[in-house]
Amino acid sequence: MRRVRELIQEIRSHYPQDSFFDAFADSCRTNPEKAKAYRTYDDAFRWLDADSWATLRTKAVAHFRDHRPGQLKQGFFNQLNEAFAYRHLAQRGYQGVRILPEQGVRVPDIEYFEGSQRYGCEVKTLGISDEEIARRGSRAVFSNVYLQLSDLFFRKLRNAIAAARSQINSHSPLGLAYLVVVPDDFALDNYDTYRHDIAAFARAEDVRDVYIKFGLRFNLHMQLRGRLTTGA
């Protein structure tokens, strides 16, 4: 995990008093799930060109102390998710894919080209709900709360797509909203139902040019293209 280690070293140099990455190597050896999660990031980081990798590190360091109640370092990890979108675009053969720096003005996270046409890609992360954070903190057992996506989820989804489109349009009239969805159902046991419900949402609202990656480690995704949706 060369690039993960490089990132951690940079974090430590900027925040020497922060203990988040203390004993990182030892904890990965004793916690295989943690190691797998960071390998998932490292696999995506390896796709980045040198300049984009430097830009992503700068953005991640800047947001390292952006916390959400119940989710430490959430802003930091949201920045890292840009690497998944970069890899997605590069794998599909687009040219000039690069992560854009934060400039104090509205720009998308990524720029890419098809021929001479410039596109923008904005990455949004939809994390677990506040209710799920409370459930995990209570240590109680819940069985039926994950069967369907909630109205609140679809409100968050709608808002994320609108915000992404606004960022993209500031740069180019064309582009992709790339969403990383981390549902309350962390094992995605109800994935087929979620796909069906999101597809219905996309058809009803004619949502276009949106790619959804479900979870960090799962190869589960869907592309929303207005009246049609595709995915695997």
Question: Could you identify the residue written with the tokens 């970069």?
Answer: 86
pLDDT for the residue 219: 86
**Helix segments in 20-139, DSSP class H:** 24-30, 32-45, 50-62, 74-80, 82-91, 130-138
Backbone dihedral region of 73: left (phi > 0), alpha (psi from -120 to 50 degrees) or beta?
A: left
pLDDT number for residue 216: 87
Contact 56, 99 (CB under 8 A): yes
pLDDT-derived band of residue 229, with 50, 70 and 90 as boundaries? low
Q: What pLDDT was estimated at residue 131?
A: 83
Q: For 28-69, what is each residue's pLDDT tens digit?
A: 999 998 999 999 999 999 999 999 999 999 999 999 998 776
Report the pLDDT value the prediction gives residue 232, as an integer from 0 to 100.
53
Higher-confidence position of 102 and 146: 102
Q: How far apart are alpha carbons 133 and 104 in whole angstroms?
A: 32
- Residue 133's pLDDT is 79
Tens of pLDDT, residue by residue over 156-214, are 999 999 999 999 999 888 999 999 999 888 888 999 999 999 999 999 999 989 999 99
The pLDDT of residue 226: 63
Q: Does the pTM exceed 0.95?
A: no
Q: CA 69, 192, 142: angle at the middle one, nearest 5? A: 45
Position 106 scores a pLDDT of 87
Give the mean pLDDT of 135-152. 75
Mean pLDDT of 63-77: 83
**Residue range 20-30, pLDDT digits in tens:** 999 999 999 99
CB 153 within 8 A of CB 129: yes
Q: At what angle do helices 50-62 and 82-91 cross, to 10 degrees?
A: 160
User: Phi first, then psi: what are they for 195, rounded to 5°?
Assistant: -60, -45
Q: How many CB atoms lie within 10 A of CB 15?
A: 14
Dmax over CA atoms of the chain, in Å, equals: 55
